[in-house]
Amino acid sequence: MSQQRVLITAGASGIGRAIAQAFVAKGARVFVCDIDEPALRAMADVLPGVHTAVCDISSRTAIEQMVPDAAERMGGIDVLVNNAGIPGPTAAVENFDPDAWERVMQINLTGTFNVTRVAIPYLKQSGAGVIINMSSVAGRFGYPNRSAYSTSKWGLIGFTKSLSIELGGDGIRVNALLPGATDGPRFQQVLQGRAAISGKTLEQVSADAMSSQSLKFLVDPNHIADLAVFLASDSGRSISGQALSIDGDMQHTST
């Protein structure tokens, strides 16, 4: 893995940062893009060998500049981690802001498509390319009042399945990760949204979230990162086209 060249979108914080740290720890060369420039600077202080660039994944032009830049600075791309995504608002469909819906799709689906589209020629040159798409447990359950997010994450599963067939002949393997309730600020925002729309307290919606899974704790972002590193390693070379849940054995939708 010390020879791998890894591009991670939205890698300056949260799950993306954990993935970047895990690949660096294995000796990989890593390029992280993010829209949050202060977070990129902070990460570069901790991981000085990481290449960074500011990039808005909703912008096709920005992506078409960023991916070749990553390839040039690392000498190619072996692994693409499509981590960029936004949760969107918590609202019923009849009250959902159409502009907010389009924003979620532009980043979560179209952004992933555009990054992947531009990266594929480099992954083909790699000879052992890997694509990891960050879906969600919302990609296998419906979530009331989270229709845009859930729809986008279901879409990423279809994208993953199609890509795995399309690119298998080039030796490129493609998988999706489906994290459940993950420890960090984003999940706390989701809980606050659920509390606001349901009239329940934050403690009540937190308990509801844990009631839907067998393991009664939040997913550690570092464990998601470990799974990504495994899939990109030689040990994962026979795994492709899969939607891999890492969610504490979630059994049903938490409302």
Q: What's the whole-model pTM score?
A: 0.92
- What is the pLDDT, as a whole number, of residue 213? 84
Lookup result for tokens 């010390």? 2
**Mean pLDDT by groups of 10 residues along the chain of 255 residues:** 89 96 96 97 92 98 98 98 95 96 98 98 97 96 92 98 98 97 77 82 80 85 97 97 94 69
| Domain assignment of residue 251, yes or no | no
Q: In total, how many domains does the chain have?
A: 1
Task: Kindly state whether residue 108 falls inside one of the protein's structural domains.
Answer: yes
For the question of residue 122 being annotated catalytic, the response is no
On whether residue 25 sits in a domain, the answer given is: yes
Q: What is the CATH number of the domain that holds 114?
A: 3.40.50.720
Give domain status of residue 18, yes or no. Answer: yes
Q: What angle do CA 218, 45, 118 make, to 5 degrees?
A: 75
Whether 253 maps to a domain, the answer reads no
> Does residue 215 form part of some domain?
yes
Residue of 23, 149, 154, 159 marked catalytic: 149
**d(C-alpha 71, C-alpha 66), whole Å:** 9
Assigned domain for 195 exists: yes
Instruction: Write out pLDDT tens, residues 150-164.
Output: 999 999 999 999 999
Range of the domain at 17: 5-246
Q: What share of the chain is helix, strand, coil (3-state, %, to 5)?
A: 55, 15, 30
Classify residue 100: in a domain, yes or no. yes
